[in-house]
Structure 1
Amino acid sequence: MSFRDDVAEFLWTVRRPDGLTDYGPTPGPEHVAAGREWQAILAEHGYACLHWPAEHGGRDASVAEQAAFAEECARAGVPRQLSIVGPDLVGPVLMRFGTAGQNANFLPRIRTGADLWCQLFSEPGSGSDLASVSTKARQDGTGWIVDGQKVWTSGAEDADYGLLLARTGGPGRAGLSVFSVPMSAPGILVRPLRQMDGESKFNEVFFEGVRLDPACLIGEVGGGWQVATATLGRERLSLGANAVGMFKALAELESTAEEHNLLDATLSEDITKLWLRVWLLRTTWERAIDEGAEPGGASFSVLKLLTSETYRDIGDLGVSALGLAALEEDQPLVKRMLVGHAQTILGGTSEIQRNILAERVLGLPRGPK
């Protein structure tokens, strides 16, 4: 059988944890227990962290195999992993910048779901412009003391560890460093944020005199920008898998419209146009990987921009076409419509991506600060 056939057979025959749903890239508090158990099952059968090297428990999976696995998970209605942060972001970054001790300590627990990670990058005054983060880590003896605030941190309420971007030196990129942070450390306060879709996956995180061991530093002091951009590159690389969710959203939109006798020729044409855009997005993602595009480069800005605005347009079409006919019902399509515009903000705004493309690809002058 092909790899896809093997995956499909596994997903439809393996025992699923009670309460497991396809909760997306980040589990809500109510999904964490089932998500951890599911990650352990994936690891046991060789389907956890497919893209990792075999020496770290992965399968050196190709882009096509990763896409097939994501698609089959979507069809089966299960998440492809516990969370995006540990397997997709932290793991590859540790392999590139971490010490042998950090890799031995963290990677096996990420792969099996024993540890859940969050990403501590964005701040109230520093979202897309990460080079301006103000959370400080100052040296105290051989260790560090952290003070500051982060926001929009997905999954922080239930995370065991966080990947922290903090200022250890002067202004700009050269003054940044990255740390692993035990989220149970004294001085950390996590405050969940209630979202318009009813979930609380985002959080504010406050640091007050948080002490970190020397071993918490990832990479070099002042090398945080390189680590951060590699992390964002991995995050945008995984955006290609979102095409699966978009295909599902379009199918739900078409089905709901048909149920309410709203599927006319105009709506069918609009759905078809978006369906074609999703296929183009998926092709762009695969081409960027095949061409060896560097994380944080212009290719990934194109990918991020296409993904965000396609998500938004699918949500907008659902609202304009269905209106209260859909919003009166409790179904996944409603949440997709509610969070559609958020996709153009999180992970780097569409405006920032356009600036990057204007400067790095078209050679236009930098915009005013």
Structure 2
Amino acid sequence: MANADDFRREVRDWLATAPRPSGLHDYGPTPTPADITAGRAWQALLAEARYACLHWPRERGGREASVAEQAAFAEECALADVPRQFHLVGPDLAGPVLMAYGSDEQCDTLLEPIRTGEHLWCQLFSEPGAGSDLASVRTRAVATDDGWVIDGQKVWTSGAADAQYGLLLARTGGPGHAGLSAFVVPMGTAGITVRPLQQMNGESKFNEVFLDGVRLAPDALIGAEGEGWAVATATLGRERLSLGSNAVGMLKALDEIVTAARAHGRLDDHLRGEVVDAWLGVWLLRSTWERAVAEGTPPGGPAFSVLKMISTSTYQAIGDLGMEALGLDALASEHDEPLVDRMLVAHAQTILGGTTEIQRNILGERILGLPREPKP
């Protein structure tokens, strides 16, 4: 961890002096439309200082950073209230997938604009009938003499309204894993319709995406036909490296809760006790995350699945605690009240990045050896 500690100090010093684009704040893994300009400018600064795409190979502009170094960077960015990158999908999902399965031409063309922030990517995986169960994807890609034709619908696609490219999972064969393939989709292609979905907090980070007769060139295929499931599984787990930065955000939220409770005259012994319990829970989460990182646990490993479940349930509990601090005033607050906004966002946490129910099934079946849940 000595190298990670030195790297943390380096990052902290750089963040203290780096210029901040106007309007920049820690908006999380996906920018809203209002965050695009500042987020893209921030990514360019990160790229210039070689803090963009830390885990990428050096020949692709990265630093080949260890898990511990990546985690330290995420936490320091959270402390500084800046995003650790422009967006999640391009640097953490599409980039590594292209390097592992894509052609040299795809890598040479597509990777650098991800690193510098020129291109925003989205992940076209989930469908109305295939969210956590990606093996049930129904969007179909049919081979033609001059490429592929795509028809289908995707949903809960973060950032699709502003994305230049999408990482698409579609069915090119029969049912099941073996019938899936992955594609690069230019989001400006004819036949693509994006409809933003308004969330409870008023934001529209998620979208529906309709693909009607979308024509792609032959070289849009990533890897070989039928390798889509391998591509899909390769994308999982990366975002869990930021669990430590989530803990930083939770500790900040508890400070806000105490301040709000005092202002509303609601900081009684009961609320104090709940805040202390939540504070202890967040520090236990952070310590366990730090131990997993120090041990070199891979991001997709079972330890991070457990931490992801604990993190999301703790986030929801803190959201509800904020409402208790505000009391009836919470009912009259607009979305710009931070505690109300946090509570509304918290309700999605057990769904994002793999639902809690699916995570429990995976841990039960693959780690504990329990029998599979019977299918109807």
Per the TM superposition, whether the score is higher than 0.5 is yes
Residue in 2 aligned with 1:66?
Answer: 70
Kindly indicate whether residue 265 of structure 2 is the aligned counterpart of residue 261 of structure 1: yes
CA distance in 2, matches of 1:217, 1:169: 14
**Change in CA separation of 1:269 and 1:61 when aligned onto 2, cut-off 3 Å:** farther
Task: Decide which moves more: 48-57 or 180-189.
Answer: 48-57
What is the match of residue 134 of structure 2? 130
Q: Is the 8 A contact 1:230 1:295 kept in 2?
A: no
Distance 2:71 2:304 in 1: 17
Which residue in the other structure is 1:345 paired with? 351
Equivalence for 1:161: 165
Distance, in Å, in 2 between the alignment partners of 1:276 and 1:57 is 39
Query: Which stretch has the larger CA shift, 99-108 or 26-35?
Result: 99-108
Contact 2:93 2:238 in 1 (8 A): yes
Q: Does 1:331 align with 2:330?
A: no
CA spacing shift, 1:131–1:70, aligned 2, 3 Å: same
Note if contact 1:51-1:66 (Cα within 8 Å) is conserved in structure 2.
yes
2:286 aligned counterpart, secondary structure? helix
Whether 1:226 and 2:233 are equivalent positions in the alignment is: no
Counterpart residue identity of residue 205, structure 2:
K
Q: Which amino acid aligns with 1:206?
A: F
Give the drift of 1:99. 2.0
Spell out, residue by residue over 1:151-171, the C-alpha distance to the aligned partner (whole angstroms, 9 max, x if none).
111110000001111111111
Q: Distance in 2 between matches of 1:319 and 1:42?
A: 36
Residue 50 of structure 1 corresponds to: 54
The TM-score normalised by the length of structure 2 is 0.91
Percent identity for Structure 1 against Structure 2: 68
> Shift of residue 33 of structure 1?
1.2
Q: In the alignment, which residue of structure 2 is the partner of 1:191? A: 195
Question: How well do the aligned residues superpose, as a CA RMSD in angstroms?
Answer: 2.1
- Partners of 2:69 and 2:302 lie apart in 1 by 25
Per-residue deviation at 1:295? 5.7
Which residue does 1:75 correspond to in 2?
A: 79
Q: Is the 8 A contact 1:70 1:244 kept in 2?
A: no
> Cα distance 1:366–1:184, how it changes in 2: closer, same or farther (>3 A)?
same
SS of residue paired to 1:247: helix
Contact 1:145 1:209 in 2 (8 A): yes
State the Cα distance separating 1:212 from its structure 2 match.
Answer: 1.2
Q: 2:310 aligns with which of 306, 309, 318?
A: 306
Aligned partner of 1:247 among 229, 251, 260: 251
Give aligned pairs, total. 369
TM-score normalised by the chain length of structure 1? 0.93
CA apart distance, 1:218: 1.5
In structure 2, the partner of 1:368 is 374
Q: Distance in 2 between matches of 1:255 and 1:211?
A: 55
Checking the alignment, whether the CA contact within 8 Å between 2:74 and 2:242 is kept in structure 1 is no
Tell me if structure 1 keeps the 8 A contact 2:149–2:216. yes
Q: Structure 2: which 5+ runs fail to align? A: none
Correspondence for 2:207 among 193, 199, 203: 203
**Contact 1:197 1:338 survives alignment (8 Å):** yes
